[in-house]
Amino acid sequence: MSSLLILLLQFTGTAIGQRVLFLSVRVGDEATLPCNYVIHDQGECESTTWLFSDSGNSVALVRRGQIGNHAKSDRLRVTEKCSLLVKKVTEEDAGLYTCRQFSSGEEQEGPDIQVYLSVVTMTGHQDNDEVTLRCSVKTYGDCGHTVKWLFQGRDVDKDHNDIRRSQFRCSASVTFPTSHFSYTPRSKLFTCSVKDGSNVQAFSLQSSGEDTAATTESDSRSGFTTTASVITEDATGWWWWIIVVIVGVAALIIINAPVI
């Protein structure tokens, strides 16, 4: 499955036509923000401007088809039909994106197209014999999403007393013993369910952290960071002790060897 994950766009009941869109994407993936009202005959999207707003400020990302000079410039691209592509999404990308069309002059033509981008972050932490997974959503303004963990695609029932779940506002965590799931990848067992209105989306774990020896491993393609104890032995350390032993034995042989 490609790291590119463009999720379902959902209209709300209060949206007028196609002017308000909602998009959720995982950290590290790419997001394509559509501009559904585009003036025809734009060779280089010269009539299109993209604005970004978060809780603190507002900035023009694209002005008349040209990407501006700002922190995320190297991760932006204007694509077909003047859509805005955001590469390697981070939590800071969550916010309100507005596509605005202008005529040959300075007058706006047509309505604003507003895209609310929410960003999902998934992390994992191993402490002794337990693993805790956390899933959270960052949104523009107050978060109204419902977040929970699913086990094999279903709610955790009473038969799984060894799995503990906690739900908070726009985040959820699940804790389980490593011994119970040592033979099945966690990505096939646990998924994070994110509900926004009537739209429900499931995010699965994608990480090599379970198979590596690194204490802290981060995979930007999946957005899953896991902190785990060392699983494989450190081969370098073993070779060092073998060399020490060999040198010591050789020294004893030389010392105790009879002089001819």
Domain boundaries along the sequence of the chain? 20-118, 121-227
**How far is the C-alpha of 75 from the C-alpha of 58, rounded, in Å?**
18
* Residues 72, 64: Cα–Cα separation, whole Å: 17
Do 20-118 and 121-227 come out as alike in CATH topology? yes
- Rounded CA-CA distance 156/160 in Å is 7
Q: How many Å apart are CA 79 and CA 64, to the nearest integer?
A: 14
Q: Where are the beta strands (DSSP E) in 92-215?
A: 95-101, 113-127, 130-138, 146-151, 164-168, 171-177, 190-196, 199-204
Per-residue pLDDT for 91 more than 60?
yes
Residues 6+ away with beta carbon under 8 Å from 175: 130, 131, 132, 133, 163, 164, 165, 166
Closest to 143 measured CA to CA, from 172, 170, 104: 170
- In the predicted structure, residue 62 carries a pLDDT above the cut 70: yes
More confident residue, 207 or 208: 207
CATH class of 121-227: mainly beta
Across residues 225-237, what is the average pLDDT? 30
Confidence tier at 194 by pLDDT (50, 70, 90): very high
Q: Which of 3-7, 65-69, 145-149, 254-258 has the highest mean pLDDT?
A: 145-149
Task: Give the closest residue to 116 by CA, choosing from 141, 147, 152.
Answer: 141
Please give the C-alpha separations between residue 146 and each of 99, 143, 186, in angstroms, as whole numbers: 28, 9, 22
Q: CATH code for 20-118? A: 2.60.40.10
